[in-house]
Structure 1
Amino acid sequence: MNTKEKFLVTGATGYTASYVIPLLLEKGVHVRGLVHKVDQRSEKLAEMGVEIVQGDLNDFYEVSKALKGITGVYFVYPILTPGILAGTTYLIQAAREEGVRNIVNMSQISARRDAKSNGAREHWLAERLLDISGIKVTHIRPTFFAEWLIYSDTIKKQDQVVLPFGEGRYAPIAAEDQGRVIAELLINPDGHEGKIYPLFGPTEYNVFDLADILSEELGRKITYEPISIETYQTEAKKQGYHPHFIQHVSSVAQDCRNGLFAGTNTAVKDITGREPMGIREFIQKHRSNFEEIN
């Protein structure tokens, strides 16, 4: 391995990046983190030895600056806001100008030509743009993150999982496992270029099953409230979520109900040599996220 290689991690203060960055640093390579704002989280990364660059993926000149001297890029565009196609175009052009070797692209399991979600369809289009970039590109398409269980405080405060997924089944995958996949693909891209890897946890569940497991692991009764998609839309609007995000989650909730998120495979182990984390281990590792602090 050439320790002079430098990798850009976009969304550097996000869930997956929090695992990608330490793994890259352990390999002795240089890491540059692109952040939307400098704050305590980015300061902690700087203390680890990460070069911090502040910028916006929808500003071509800031993206170009962030890619100076970069070998490979982990590209993740925030699903909360629109603009992925412009951001992908800027990334591709800047990467070509700077001679970037490879890109690992965070897509999603619902990315497809006929997706009802605007975000999922645009992820699919972004994949196609990257495919014709002339750069080595690998796409990962995870099912729902295990972190969906801790995105809100309803388990901690109400002993409830509140989601619009109905009885849809999926195999939750932890950001930690995705981080291992991303780091491996960044450092060793050969044989993975042009590939699309759906990523799953080891076991498929519906959310009723997950609530039962949470109850067993946490030692208190956790119930699943399968709200309607319409109720989700109303509540999300009240909470101030961007219409783009609400439309996306509403559509993928229906996809989940229709079975699109179901399934398992061996991709995580094939790429990293380790099995993905089971949901019980995930709950125990993140136990504080499920419990009120007295």
Structure 2
Amino acid sequence: MIVITAPTGNIGRHLLPLLLEAAPTHDEELRVIARDPARLPDAVRERVEVVIGSHGDTEVVDRAFEGADAVFWLVPPDSSLAPADVWSSFTRPAAKALAAHGVGHVVGVSALGRGTPVADRAGLVTASLAMDDLIARTGVAYRALANPSFFENLLEEADSIREKGVFTDVVDADRKAPLVAVADIAAVAARLLLDRSWTGVEDVPVLGPQDLSPNDLARIMTEQLGRPVRYERQSIEDLRTTLVGYGLDEAFVQGIADMKQAKDNGLDIGVTRTADTASPTTFEQWCAQTLRPAVLS
């Protein structure tokens, strides 16, 4: 039995079809935790067991983890709380349920940066790494998917790219760093969940095929969209002011700002890309398949 949290999220919606396709061959049963089962496609609801509720709820995870062999764990961001409170409030009930039900394997969505000089002041990333430690202390075999920033973050800039030909961030325009497509993260998660021969606790970096700078992204978007796109660097203070203006909790906003500052200071660049840590989807492919329809629709 594999339990999937956040099955309709960015990663979960790619992961669930992969597991459904493989489940008959691997003789696996699937269970999902969902606040709103109606968001699951009809064909999916017919093939999985659904536990209704939040996976941050003690009673919900206790029911969901009973009889489970493996869990896909993802903490959704909650902009009404400080980052440490978000990750810990969700994960503590799950950690107790993992131990109580003897769950053997957990694959979690985490971040790059462990062991770097800025890891302890990287906001959302620091909270995510603390989550990894909490899960590891339960005694389960644990794989933390150590991810850089997602290509999909640029979808938040689709309107600005369409209307102004501009996207923004706070990092240096020429700073190269790994980026990854969420579909590639889902593929790694599926492989680990289906083949549970692994033991112990490890990070599993998922680094995309190459490092790219904001200027590289602008060049590729210009080519793929057939219109000029440029990068505009934003100050941390301007970012903070904008996010607070959207009504986000100030502590959560500080967590985002600290994460962005840490990324500009090299948080994501300490892991060597190898055949094992690279993932296949290029930014060109992602632009053609995902960004272009969002911008030009």
TM-score band, normalised by shorter chain: 0.7 to 0.9
- Conserved in 1, the CA contact under 8 Å of 2:171 and 2:264? yes
Task: Give the structure-1-normalised TM-score.
Answer: 0.87
C-alpha distance in 1 between matches for 2:7 and 2:171: 29
Q: Which of 27, 47, 50 does residue 48 from structure 2 map onto?
A: 50
In structure 1, distance between residues paired with 2:43 and 2:172: 38
**2:82 matched residue in structure 1:** none
Mapped to 1, the partners of 2:101 and 2:70 lie a distance apart of 11
**Counterparts of 2:119 and 2:266 in 1: how far apart (Å)?**
16
Once the two structures are TM-superposed, the CA of residue 264 in structure 1 deviates from its matched residue by 6.1
| Paired residue secondary structure (2:3) | strand
Matching residue of 1:3: none
In 1: Cα distance, 2:114 partner to 2:36 partner: 28
Name the residue aligned to 1:130. 135
Q: Tell me, which stretches of 5 or more residues in structure 2 are unaligned?
A: 80-84
Distance 1:100 1:181 in 2: 20
Q: Deviations over 1:208-236 (max 9, x none)?
A: 11011100111100111111111111111
Alignment partner of 1:182 is 2:185: no
How many Å apart are 1:282 and its aligned residue?
0.9
- 1:256 lines up with 2:263 in the alignment: yes
Q: Tell me what 1:162 maps to.
A: 168
- Look up the SS of the partner of 1:24 in the other structure: helix
Q: Identity over aligned residues, as a percent? A: 23
- For residues 111 and 292 of structure 1, what CA distance do their matches in structure 2 show? 38
Match of 2:88 in 1: 85
The code of the aligned residue for 2:22 comes to K
* Helix, strand or coil at the partner of 2:121: coil
Please list, as runs of the form range in 1=range in 2, the aligned pairs for 1:10-89 lying within 5 A after superposition: 10-28=5-23, 29-39=28-38, 41-44=39-42, 46-47=44-45, 49-81=47-79, 82-89=85-92
Using the TM superposition, give the Cα deviation of residue 115 of structure 1 relative to its aligned residue in structure 2, in angstroms.
2.2
Task: Measure, in 2, the Cα distance between the counterparts of 1:166 and 1:44.
Answer: 45
**Partner residue of 1:211 out of 204, 212, 218:** 218
Kept in 1, the 8 Å contact 2:70–2:105? The answer is: yes
State the SS of the aligned residue for 1:56.
coil
CA distance in 1, matches of 2:96, 2:124: 22
SS at match of 1:276: coil
* Correspondence 1:202 to 2:209: yes
- Deviates further, 163-172 or 197-206: 163-172
Contact residue 155 and residue 291 of structure 2 kept, 8 A: no
Structure 1 position 197, deviation (Å): 1.6
One-letter amino acid of the counterpart of residue 284, structure 1: A
- How far off its partner does 1:10 sit? 0.8
Quote the offset at 1:275 in angstroms: 4.3
Matches within 5 A, 1:236-247: 236-247=243-254
Kept in 2, the 8 Å contact 1:130–1:137? The answer is yes
Aligned amino acid, residue 69 of structure 1: G
Amino acid at match of 2:105: N
Aligned-pair distance for 1:248? 2.1
**SS of match in other structure, 2:50:** strand
Distance, in Å, in 2 between the alignment partners of 1:77 and 1:14 is 10
The one-character-per-residue Cα deviations of 1:240-282 (angstroms, maximum 9, x if unpaired) are 2333432222112111211222366456x538xx842111011
Contact 2:239 2:257 in 1 (8 A): yes
- State the 1:14 CA deviation: 0.7
Question: What one-letter code is carried by the residue in structure 1 that aligns with 2:59?
Answer: Y
CA distance in 2, matches of 1:85, 1:278: 34
Q: Which residue of 2 aligns with 1:140?
A: 145
Does the residue aligned with 2:131 lie in a helix, a strand or coil? helix
Q: Does the 8 Å contact 1:214/1:283 carry over to 2?
A: yes
- Higher mean alpha-carbon deviation, 150-159 vs 232-241, is at 150-159
Q: TM-score, normalised by structure 2?
A: 0.87
**Is 2:200 aligned against 1:193?**
yes
